[in-house]
Structure 1
Amino acid sequence: MEAHKKIKVECLQQAEALKLFLDKVGAETLDRHPDIRKLAETMAEECGGLSLALITIGRAMSSKKTPGEWKYAMKALRQSAASVFPGIGKKMFPQLKFSYDCLPDERVRSCFLYCCLFPSGFPIRKSELIHCWIGEGLLDHLVSSVRNQGEYILGSLIDACLLEDVRSDIVKMHDVIRDMALWIASESEKNKFCVKAGMQLKGQPVAENWEDVRRVSLMGNQIESLTQVFVCPNLLTLFLGKNELKVIINDFFNFMPMLKVLDLSFNINLDELPVGIAKLVSLEHLDLSYTGLKTLPVELKVLEKLKYLNIEHTSNLKTIPPQLISNVSKLQVLKMVGSGYEWLVEEVECLAYLNVLTISIESLSMLERAMMSLKLQSCNVEAVILKLLKGSRFLSISALANIQPLDFLGVYDCEDLEEVKIERAEIASAGWFRSVTLIKLARCPKLKDATWIFFVPHLVKMAIHECQDLEEVISEDKLSEDDKLTENSNLFSELEAFDLQKLPKLKTIYRDALPFPQLKEAIIKECPKLRKLPLNSESAEGQKIVIQGEEWWKNVEWEDECTRYHFLHSFHPIYL
């Protein structure tokens, strides 16, 4: 029986899950009111195909005889099953908890519980989760080796079916598994959580015993201001991302002396930080990405333990006090890609412990200076955006061959750019393209094609937006004879998603049909001249692909009727 092998038990398909749930609710309850059956169908979907949840919750709902009871239970279920059904935790979670108990050690179990801080169904970026684990001290502090440790733990959680591997860079936690994690945390003496993520809160929550709380998540709400002081002497992690914050009073951080991880990301209306942030003397991880900040307070200089600073995609951030970056001397991770701040090579050179860097480059002279930087050559540059390169009709990216391990490359807002070039021999010898998984081209109105993508063997996601003159993604005419003779049969073999939007002249993606063994999602929007996709009946065989688009779908020229039928149910319309 090969009992030593692990066999993954998949979640039930929608029809099977619904039948199981309705059986457990029973006909007597379902027939009490015409609305109940429809509510039951929706509740079954919330269980996500997990048999144990369908059975346990179905039985619990068998005694609920009015639509009002069902509606209340539905709303509460989206927050936590254990909160609405008394005793359900003790009935359902101990069986699920077996996977948790079998995890290798306490470190891995703590990393798992940390994931319930994110809202229900939230796509969690693997690299950012690992950095949070590092910041709170769940992993070792040497970033150069600890990333591997984090990836190993993620693999263990995925193998145990406690996390879902959504994409190569993203995981999710099943809603019922998240409920179990919250239940475990509530039962633990040392893991004190306050999780009110995704609950549509308008203001700060009122809670008891803040003194004992170690982790707080208010992610994904509608909180506009933080005007009440939290007294949290033992707080280690505070998630405030994806709110509508405009104001944080100066005293807000006064009584959080142990705080190590602070996430304020995706608060686009937050244009300044309180000077009281200087009180966070233990802070190691600060995420300010996708905020409306115009500058950083000079008080950040006193955060002597800060090791991670993320100011990515802060387009309003035009100034940073002189020597602020270089004075935060313990920084190991500095993420600046997409920031409005024109970073200084000299300041980065002063960061002796810097190990991870992401940057935007806005001129050819800055690109040349960056390429000469010893710091850039010695640390891990994970993302580069080239943007606003005025007057450049042709751009050679061969100079980036020495930057490793580059994961994301973007080319944005280059109004004169007609072609991106590479020197094939240099790229082949350096092996640089082997690390790139994400590419985005945006707002380059004169760009004709993106043929250089042909030489990116491990591409996972590709996005091309608002390139008005782009006619082809990969041009056959620009491939050399050698390229055609030794055509890369692995082209797009690892591609999981592509996103093509506002390309009015786009006619082809690639000349021939290709296998897409990993493709999960394609978005094609406002590409009126695109008539043929690089697909045949064998493309993405065995994969469920979602193709989103508009009316152009009706005019697609399929290779044959078999191909048309194969992808008939893949299309989901986007309504403008």
Structure 2
Amino acid sequence: MQPNMANNIRVECLPSGEALKLFEEKVGSETLHMHPDIHKLAEAVAEECAGLPLALITIGRAMASKKTPQEWEYAIEVLRKSAASVLPGVGKEMYPKLKFSYDCLPDERFRSCFLYCSLYPEDHPIEKDQLIHCWIGEGLLDEHTNLSSARNQGHFIRGSLIDACLLENIRGNYYVKMHDVVRDMALWIVCEFEEKFFVKLGVQLKELPEAEKWEEVTRMSLMGYQIENLTEILECPNLQTLFLGSNDLKVIMNDFFNSMPMLSVLDLSHNMNLKELPVGIANLVSLEHLNLSWTGIRRLPVELKTLAKLKYLNLELTIDLRMIPQQLISNFSKLQVLKMLACNVGCSLVLEEMEHLKYLNVLTITFRSASKLEKALGLKKFFNCVIERLMLEDFNDSRSLNILALANMQHLYSLGLLRCMNLEEVKIESNKIEGVGFFHSLRFVYLSKCDQLRDANWIIIAPHLEDLVIINCKSLEEIISEEKFGEVTKSKANTNLFSKLKILHLICLPKMKTICSHALPLPRLKEIRIKRCAMLKKLPLNSNSAKGQRVVIKGEEEWWKEVEWEDESTRLAFLPSFKPHVI
């Protein structure tokens, strides 16, 4: 169905010299030198891009693998013909030429995965794992004997789309997004070649839009609008994906899903006013992927047990969820992915029923007591799962945590400690320092309201940590103590402490004095944010820290004036980095 794309798009174009330089940079010198004719042919291809940066980049990447003059001559022919099929009002140098990069994708599977990304709103950050699981739920990937193999193929396709400059990495590579012009081009392809998508552009919806041929639609995206009520039955017998996330949904009528027998992917996430699911959701007998994260639902209806094909269930941050019927989770016999991080329902239910989930492979979960964590660690099925994200919250039955008890979670990439008010110590034994690097996958650590903790020494065993956020820990005095730093240095186990760190946020830490007593290289550092840490006078920086990086340091101006520097050259090096914190 035709999206609204009547508005012209204004794009600044490059002069011919700069355009050719950018194009050749993307093609690469190896290809350019494969044959003496290719240089001249490259000029002709670059000329067809009409100075449009995105066309130069995407077509340049597509031509990087073309090693013969014949392939280049064919590309010129295709690009010159493409001007005849332009979208009215957009300009001949736009979508048809960009489509060349789409046509150069390896096969139809890659192209289908690319077009699927256009269902997300303009400039919308797309969580990469969520995207891949949608591809799996829609059946866009090959048949695989296990989830790990399917996800690996998804990552390969995602990487190929990034290499082709049709997607771009953002937010530390955890998310991707489509450039707005690339998305418009994708939607143009959808319209031009009669793919049955329904995507509304450039409008603010408060109710379901009208369409002449609902029965033809295979994918529908109504994300990011202000839709409050779904009170009409849609006859969509061929619909496979429905995105309703990030609306103001309050009511979904019981019969809304009655005529969607083929629906396999349903996203209702980020609708905090949605308190109840309609019992009619039980009619979605083909559903494989259900995302209810960030919704206000209070209970899961027992009728969900009819969803016999469900493989993916996301209940993360359902903070109002009070009740999941007994045996409901275990009834999803094909379930492969269960996401319950910060779900209000406790972990006991999951631990009791997960033994019946033969195919469960990926799990995110919150533990609210040391005893329940200890119980889980004794379950074989728990350790057979890929634990990707873990939160320890409201630990009030323990003063100490042995962090190495989690060391077997080889795929753990996010760990949070929240409101562990009695926790005084996170232990890491000195004789284990030689084993620094237990948590090879750990990328994100979040500590909040752990008021008895005085240090965060245990972080030294996470060698690939990228994001460290510590908030409202009243007694925290240092992150890495002098003693622990000495042990690490002596053992030579991790001489490049924080070598992958990109983000460091320290907020409301009234006793914080030291991050680390020694200056660190921090070669990947991008941002430091300090707020309400009045006693923190020195940063672990010298003139060699973060070499080549554009580091941003955010904080209060009064705090910045009091910072003590290693020497004058360090102060001058980081003076341009400061940005005052704006309340």
TM interval, short-chain normalised: 0.7 to 0.9
Measured in 2, the distance between the counterparts of 1:197 and 1:252 equals 23
The answer to whether the 8 Å contact 1:401/1:431 transfers is no
CA drift of 1:443 comes to 1.4
The equivalent residue for 2:563 is 556
The answer to whether the 8 Å contact 1:401/1:430 transfers is no
Counterpart check, 1:467 vs 2:469: no
Measured in 2, the distance between the counterparts of 1:321 and 1:197 equals 40
The equivalences for 1:88-237 within 5 A come to 88=90, 90-139=92-141, 140-141=143-144, 142-166=146-170, 167-189=172-194, 191-196=195-200, 199-237=203-241
Describe the shift of the 1:485–1:369 C-alpha distance in structure 2 as closer, same or farther (beyond 3 A). Answer: closer
Describe the shift of the 1:121–1:539 C-alpha distance in structure 2 as closer, same or farther (beyond 3 A). Answer: farther
Describe the shift of the 1:18–1:476 C-alpha distance in structure 2 as closer, same or farther (beyond 3 A). Answer: farther
The equivalences for 1:243-392 within 5 A come to 243-343=247-347, 344=349, 345-392=351-398
Give SS of 1:301's match: helix
Residue type matched to 1:128 in 2? Q
The equivalent residue for 1:3 is none
Among 227, 241, 250, the residue aligned to 2:245: 241
Residue type matched to 1:469 in 2? S
CA drift of 1:86 comes to 3.7
Q: What do the CA deviations read for 1:526-571 (whole angstroms, capped 9, x no partner)?
A: 3232222222333222222333333223332233333333333333
CA drift of 1:362 comes to 1.3
CA drift of 1:179 comes to 1.4
Residue type matched to 1:295 in 2? R
Q: What do the CA deviations read for 1:84-137 (whole angstroms, capped 9, x no partner)?
A: x94316531122222211111111111111112222222222111111111111
Among 423, 426, 449, the residue aligned to 1:420: 426
Q: What do the CA deviations read for 1:400-442 (whole angstroms, capped 9, x no partner)?
A: 1222321111111111112211246568669631121111111
Describe the shift of the 1:165–1:316 C-alpha distance in structure 2 as closer, same or farther (beyond 3 A). Answer: same
Describe the shift of the 1:545–1:125 C-alpha distance in structure 2 as closer, same or farther (beyond 3 A). Answer: farther
Structure 2 stretches of 5 or more lacking a match? Answer: 1-10, 16-50, 57-86
Measured in 2, the distance between the counterparts of 1:397 and 1:212 equals 54
Q: What do the CA deviations read for 1:508-536 (whole angstroms, capped 9, x no partner)?
A: 22222222222233332332322222223
The equivalent residue for 1:82 is none
The answer to whether the 8 Å contact 1:198/1:218 transfers is no
The answer to whether the 8 Å contact 2:410/2:439 transfers is no
CA drift of 1:205 comes to 2.4
Give SS of 2:254's match: coil
Among 562, 568, 573, the residue aligned to 2:575: 568
Measured in 1, the distance between the counterparts of 2:445 and 2:202 equals 30
Measured in 2, the distance between the counterparts of 1:197 and 1:430 equals 51
Measured in 2, the distance between the counterparts of 1:52 and 1:336 equals 39
Measured in 1, the distance between the counterparts of 2:430 and 2:12 equals 52
The answer to whether the 8 Å contact 1:314/1:339 transfers is yes
CA drift of 1:338 comes to 0.9
Describe the shift of the 1:457–1:197 C-alpha distance in structure 2 as closer, same or farther (beyond 3 A). Answer: farther
Describe the shift of the 1:321–1:91 C-alpha distance in structure 2 as closer, same or farther (beyond 3 A). Answer: same
The equivalences for 1:531-542 within 5 A come to 531-542=537-548
Measured in 2, the distance between the counterparts of 1:373 and 1:198 equals 51
CA drift of 1:292 comes to 1.3
CA drift of 1:18 comes to 9.3
Give SS of 2:516's match: coil
Question: How much identity, in percent, do the aligned residues show?
Answer: 61
The answer to whether the 8 Å contact 2:515/2:540 transfers is yes
Measured in 2, the distance between the counterparts of 1:430 and 1:515 equals 18
Measured in 1, the distance between the counterparts of 2:529 and 2:512 equals 14
Measured in 2, the distance between the counterparts of 1:444 and 1:165 equals 33
The answer to whether the 8 Å contact 2:430/2:487 transfers is no
Measured in 1, the distance between the counterparts of 2:149 and 2:54 equals 39
Measured in 1, the distance between the counterparts of 2:433 and 2:300 equals 38
Give SS of 1:99's match: helix
RMSD: 2.8
Residue type matched to 2:530 in 1? I
Query: Which shifted more, 326-335 or 514-523?
Result: 514-523
Query: Which shifted more, 430-439 or 125-134?
Result: 430-439
Describe the shift of the 1:383–1:482 C-alpha distance in structure 2 as closer, same or farther (beyond 3 A). Answer: closer
CA drift of 1:456 comes to 0.5
Measured in 1, the distance between the counterparts of 2:91 and 2:304 equals 43
Give SS of 2:338's match: strand
The equivalent residue for 1:510 is 516
Give SS of 2:100's match: helix
Describe the shift of the 1:504–1:206 C-alpha distance in structure 2 as closer, same or farther (beyond 3 A). Answer: farther
Give SS of 1:366's match: helix
Among 465, 469, 493, the residue aligned to 2:499: 493
Among 446, 451, 458, the residue aligned to 1:452: 458
Number of residue pairs the alignment of both structures matches: 507
The equivalent residue for 1:403 is 409
Give SS of 1:547's match: strand
Among 424, 428, 435, the residue aligned to 2:441: 435
